[in-house]
Structure 1
Amino acid sequence: MKNIYITDLDHTFLRSDLSVSDYTKKIWNSYENKAILGIATARTYKKTAQFLEGVHVDAPMILLDGALIATMDKKIIDTKFINKEMGDIIIDVGAKLGIFPFVLSLVDSELNEAFSYSTILNSYQSEIIKRYVNDDHTQVYKNIRAQENNFKIVYMADEPILEELQREVKKIFGEELKYILAPEAYMGCYFLTILHKDADKSHGIKSVSEAVGFDLNRLTVFGDNYNDIGMFELSDVSVAVANAQERVKEKADIVLPHSNDEDGVAHYLEELLDG
């Protein structure tokens, strides 16, 4: 039976400039016939497919923190949505605190996505939006509302205001939703991601395991941030890159000497080949 390798993207597999080095592609792709290879990311299908051009992925991808499980050829395996009513309530709670979210939604069964945001942005959000200036799936609203099928609602701000927002939303929905409050490694802020209660990478791995039929005892995962901890706990071997958050390193079986910018995942896999 084959081993399984599933990696996070941002700050783990991708370099800080959002590229995948030729070295990483070479080593990762050398496992094509030796293992099952997969991705678990907070990114959308579209962005993930763009970043992974030339990278072999044969397992269904865990996307949007586990809210979407889909293959590279756009076959949807599973979805976990926040409905419009809940989404609008979340947006209204944030508005009372003076902050507005990014809303990531499914438009149709062809995996067309909507990335919605408000005309009112803080400095962190404004910086992020610069990266999406040429994307055709962004939608800006003076009065932002949720869509029918929302993968996740994401706020970026300083930690104290996001902690307050999380408390206020939890007063309404409790454990009906999942909340991930984590640092953004390179922008000096935090983000609060709000999802369906079963939308996370660990649930995603279970869905992929059922779809592909692999043994979790042969699973190795790679990550750097808090949303990776669930899959760390589920895997046989969990690997944190050198630049991972300290709390993530504490949960990992292995902490690499190399960061994402030093091709940490590829170095680890190459050592396995040499061993």
Structure 2
Amino acid sequence: MNTLKNSPIYITDLDHTFLRTDQSISDFSAKVWNELSRDSILSVATARSFQKTHDFLGKLHLHAPMILLDGTMVVTPEKKLIDIKLINKELGDAIINEGKKYDIFPFIIALKDMELNESFNVPTTLNLYQKGVLNNYANDPRLRVHKEIHAEEMNLKIVYFGSYETLKPLTDHLQKTFGKELEYKLSPEKYSDGWFLTILHPEGDKSHALATVAEYLGRDTHEMTVFGDSINDIGMFKLAGTSVAVSNALDEVKEVADIILPHSNDEDAVAKYLSER
């Protein structure tokens, strides 16, 4: 990275920010990204896995570490692991047992090995919100269905989907029970009436991961421009030098953004901003 020592750094969320709603990347966005990558550092900060991110970004030039799975993992495009934050099995099972009191069982994203192969574990007992989410993962090779769901040895994140009326009391209960042992992010699912609660290692969020990327690059987070739309982007927004929200971002995100774009993810908001740099 020495050849880009003083280059601008841009890091964007994917879903509902850089990706269009149909999860595509327009030719315009790809063109702008690839042209800018010649003299700038561009990367992503996403809730998605390494493989899914690589699949989406196949036509983009990637030369910088990627922030994956909400910040639990920082990995180079060549699959070199820079940092990882895991929830251990004992704590993961304790979370699941507390969730049972609210008649809800989580999805668990875990590592199977240090080659970064993942498992996506789901319970057989599902609510309507969970069934809706799983429609998008029918052919996912990571998917494993369990009658009795348990935590794995290396858990990246534990995710509950449901109504606000179910997940808000669960969030409060888990925070009271586990305190600072975990990070809790309760967010609306933007294109439905459901909500999701993501549970992470306390340093497994995008803000900590952004600091890790800065250290890896030998730069300061205040030199970075970040883009996002959702609750899990707020910590990153507060840490970066410039934070940019797309027009379809949640109000909570817009409130902490330095810049609110006039365009949405479906209007290539990030690329239009980058094209003017």
Say yes or no: TM over 0.5: yes
Number of the residue aligned with 2:149:
144
Matched, 1:164 2:191: no
Q: Is the 8 A contact 2:11 2:42 kept in 1?
A: yes
- Find out whether 1:204 has 2:209 as its counterpart: yes
Conserved 8 A contact 2:123-2:149: yes
CA contact (8 A) 1:2 1:218 kept: no
Tell me what 2:66 maps to.
61
What's the CA shift for 1:212?
Answer: 1.6
Distance across 2 between alignment mates of 1:35 and 1:234: 20
Stretches of structure 2 lacking an aligned partner (at least 5 in a row): 1-5
Instruction: Normalising by structure 2, report the TM-score.
Output: 0.96
2:77 pairs with 1:34: no
Q: Deviations over 1:206-255 (max 9, x none)?
A: 11111121232321000001110111111111100000001111111110
Equivalent residue, structure 2, for 1:220? 225
CA drift at 1:99: 0.9
Residue aligned with 1:139, SS: strand
Asked if 2 retains the 8 angstrom alpha-carbon contact of 1:62 and 1:205, the reply is yes
Match of 1:7 in 2: 12
2:179 and 2:223 mapped to 1: Cα distance? Answer: 35
Q: What amino acid does structure 1 have at the position aligned with 2:136?
A: R
Contact in 2 for aligned 1:4/1:214 (Cα 8 Å): no
Equivalent AA in structure 1 for residue 16 of structure 2: H
CA distance in 2 between counterparts of 1:181 and 1:161 reads: 11
Deviation (angstroms), 1:110: 1.1
Q: 2:118 aligns with which of 113, 130, 140?
A: 113
Tell me the residue number matched to 2:187: 182
2:36 counterpart SS class: coil
Q: Is the 8 A contact 1:124 1:157 kept in 2?
A: yes
Structure 1 length normalisation: TM-score?
Answer: 0.97
CA offset at residue 47 of structure 1?
A: 1.1
User: What is the Cα-based RMSD across aligned positions, in Å?
Assistant: 1.0
Cα pair 1:25 1:55 within 8 Å, conserved = yes
1:105-131, Cα deviation, whole Å (9 max, x unpaired): 011111100100001111111111121
Q: Give aligned-pair identity as a percent.
A: 54
**Deviation by residue 1:181-225 (Cα, 9 ceiling, x = unmatched):** 011101211110000001111100111111121232321000001
Which ranges of structure 1 fall in alignment gaps of 5 or more residues? Answer: none
Give structure 1 regions of 4+ aligned residues with deviation exceeding 3 angstroms: none
